[in-house]
Amino acid sequence: MRSDMIKKGIEKTPHRALLKALGLTDKDIAKPFIGVANSYTNIVPGHIHLNQIADAVKAGVTAAGGTPFEFNTIAVCDGIAMGHEGMRYSLPSRELIADSVEVMAQAHRLDGLVLVTNCDKITPGMLMAAARLDIPAIAVTGGPMASGWLDGKKIGYASVPEGLGKHFAGKMSSEELSRLENAACPGCGSCNGMFTANTMACVTEALGMSLPYCATALANSVAKLRIAKETGEQIVKLTCNDVKPSAIMKKEAFENAIAVDMALGGSTNTVLHVSAIAQEAGVTLPLKVFDEIGRRIPHLCSMIPSGPYAMEDLHAAGGIPAVMKELSPLLNLNALSVTGKPVGENIADAKVLDANVIRSLTNPVHKEGGIAILTGNIAPKGAVVKTAAVSPNMLRHSGPAKVFDSETEAVASIRKREIQPGDVVVIRYEGPKGGPGMPEMLIPTATIAGMGLSESVALITDGRFSGATRGPCIGHVAPEAAEGGPIAIIKNGDTITIDIPNRVLKVELTEQEIKKRLEAWKPKPPRITKGYLTRYSPTPTE
């Protein structure tokens, strides 16, 4: 065991003395050392209950003959960070999380890891660390929040920013908005729809890195606590059998995870996160793989924000095992999982319990998956759109550009009702370097939706979108404006054409005109000049 390096032999007497200062006995020290990476914090609704889950994990570790050691990571709530400078820190926090788990596991020679996680950047950050470390590891995601209810209607977090848009459009009073605010988020857990946090939980389970039904079991349920305890027991088995993430996170497993993502119509952020995890695992996963899988995997689940069903509905319908059972002819069933069994065995007894929530392959919501990759002269290296959230009449759209060099400018213009039906809103200099940090654009997209413009106005950005975004919103445009990508030279009034079925995003300019504008383009000075985010800002030589 790795932990022998800090506990075995006479030369490790000083190390054992320190371990005994923790109250450990010789028997405790002789057992496998299991790290419990807990992202608990009381400022994030998705994480406020994770101490209870971590306690259940530790009980399982102890019961199975291991010695648990708990430590913490940071966690950013994207909803609280949304719409201000704080959102620039969200995506970069992923690397801090991965690094902190690596540091603790390596410094203390832990034999195995349980990753107690839940929200957008935390789950991928922890999986990145697991792949990098390649010691036995299992994730236990904290589970979704129950839906709120107002006037007999199911609501959730995404209802609130859209309600704000309605308020600015004069369609909702201050009193109605306040009632919505008070009812939308009834308790702990990740927000109730197929937003980034829950998409990543589902992807984690489909990847084989969490136990069956973990992704959809509600945060406040005893089912979640049982899964947590079973996870603690299972990690000891994996550690004793030396089953590492490299045996699980293979290309076939990533293809399964992407397939499930497509069937669920998940967040576009998974393209960023799954690619980063795959890179840490040494798996080549080019952008075209997402589009190829998206073309052959149908969209089966009409989930919030683009459909009526919440996470509790998906769980009651059979959860991720049932989704994978329906997709089984299209999956790699021999892929190994943290159960120690292949996917095919894990889902053998799974059943679809509600065919309205989990549609069949012969009766899908859409014939293709929920995410598409677009290219063209605006995005030579690609852009991402959540097709599951786009209405049929906006799959093809052409209109004049309304260009903004920041999210703040765009939101102010939208709220002043300066955006007209048919427009294409362009928000640039919000990419990984230009932002810096690639902030999410939920406030402008939700405001557009709330004002009733999502059927007539498109939005493109080199930033990214919240999983709660719906409508014809195209993000991750690459190269970004800060790197001199073509999005940097679009002007107000330029005609932009979007053709999602044919995967095209272009501005109606000649190659000569684009070249002329790019030659005249000059980089903007960095927004951030000190602190953590300067690592992501462009340097003067770039």
| Residues 491-542 pLDDT 10s | 999 999 999 999 999 999 999 999 999 999 999 888 888 899 888 876 543 3
Segment among 17-21, 160-164, 270-274, 425-429 with least mean pLDDT: 160-164
pTM of the model: 0.93
Instruction: Label residue 333 by pLDDT band (50, 70, 90).
Output: very high
Q: What residues contact residue 230 under an 8 Å CB cut-off, 6+ apart?
A: 60, 211
Local structure of residue 83 (DSSP, 8 states): T
Does position 273 have pLDDT exceeding 70, yes or no?
Answer: yes
More confident residue, 98 or 393: 98
Nearest to 2 by CA among 113, 84, 81: 113
Residue with tokens 């998906």: 314
pLDDT for res 310 = 97
Residue 204, pLDDT score: 98
Amino acid 62 reads T
The pLDDT of residue 448 is above 80: yes
pLDDT of residue 538: 62
The pLDDT score that the predictor gives to residue 441 is: 87
In the chain, % of residues over pLDDT 70: 99
Judged against a pLDDT cut of 90, whether residue 445 lies above it is answered with: no
Question: CA 530 to CA 516: how far, in whole Å?
Answer: 34
Query: Whole-angstrom Cα distance, residue 31 to residue 19?
Result: 13
Region 17-42: mean pLDDT is: 97
pLDDT computed for residue 508 by the predictor: 97
Start-end of H helices in 42-173? 50-63, 78-81, 90-107, 122-133, 159-168
Range with lowest mean pLDDT among 146-150, 205-209, 225-229, 434-438: 434-438
State percent of the chain over pLDDT 90.
88
Catalytic: 174? no
Q: One of 3, 159, 302, 466 is an active-site residue; which one?
A: 466
Instruction: For residue 138, name the pLDDT band (cuts at 50, 70, 90).
Output: very high
Q: How far apart are CA 75 and CA 375, in angstroms?
A: 33
Q: What token pair was written down for 526?
A: 């960095």
Q: Is the previous residue joined to 92 through a cis bond, with omega within 30 degrees of 0?
A: no
Q: What is the DSSP letter of 375?
A: B
Give the C-alpha separation, 280 to 250, whole Å: 11
In whole angstroms, give the CA distance from residue 446 to residue 134. 40
Place of tokens 């908005």: 177
| 391 band by pLDDT with thresholds 50, 70 and 90 | confident
Mean pLDDT of the chain: 95
pLDDT in tens, 31-86: 999 999 999 999 999 999 999 999 999 999 999 999 999 999 999 999 999 989 99
Average pLDDT rounded to a whole number, residues 363-369: 95
Q: Is the pLDDT of residue 348 over 60?
A: yes
Backbone phi, psi, residue 189, to 5°: 120, 170
More confident residue, 7 or 388: 7
Q: How many CB atoms lie within 10 A of CB 483?
A: 18
Q: What is the mean pLDDT of residues 403-421?
A: 94
Confidence tier at 468 by pLDDT (50, 70, 90): confident
* pLDDT of 471 above 70: yes
- Tell whether the model's pLDDT for residue 189 goes beyond 90: yes
Phi, psi for 328 (deg, rounded to 5):
-50, -35
Q: What is the mean pLDDT of residues 218-237?
A: 98
